[in-house]
Amino acid sequence: MQKIRIICGSSQAEAKILDKNPKTAEAILKNLPIEGTVIKWGDEYYFYTDIKVEEENSQTEMEIGDIAYWPEGRAICIFLGPTPVSSDDRPVAISPVNLFAKLEDKIEIKDGEKIRIEKVE
């Protein structure tokens, strides 16, 4: 099972790559490391990339710890809690996203911080 590491400020965590969206996972892995600046939306944290992937088994209902690619915004999204469109404690994406990884540890992410995703060797 492949893993990635998310580094944000002084916090970092590993995530396992999931089988649900293999084309998305392959595109992300091929482009690592990826860096950006975090934008906070509720308890979803995302950053824009140059990666272009179409919708693949996409969804809006997420779970805490899910990491997804947002085709409409060409961004990586990390779901740590409810978003402004959630009706309860579960995160909901604003539009369909391609789930590709799941956090294995807790991570602290802050709006405006630099974030980096890299391979775990």
pTM for this entry: 0.97
Quote the pLDDT of residue 10. Answer: 95
- Give tens-digit pLDDT for 47-64: 999 999 999 999 999 999
Q: Where do the structural domains in the chain lie, given as residue ranges?
A: 3-119
Quote the pLDDT of residue 1. Answer: 74
- Give tens-digit pLDDT for 6-53: 999 999 999 999 999 999 999 999 999 999 999 999 999 999 999 999
Q: Is domain 3-119 in CATH 3.30.460.10, yes or no?
A: no
Contact 83, 43 (CB under 8 A): yes
**Mean pLDDT of all residues in 82-94:** 97
53-58 long-range contacts, CB within 8 A, separation 24+: 53/23, 53/24, 53/27, 53/98, 54/23, 55/96, 55/98, 56/21, 56/23, 56/24, 56/98, 57/20, 57/21, 57/98, 57/99, 58/21, 58/96, 58/97, 58/98
**CA–CA distance, 69 with 47 (Å, rounded to integer):** 10
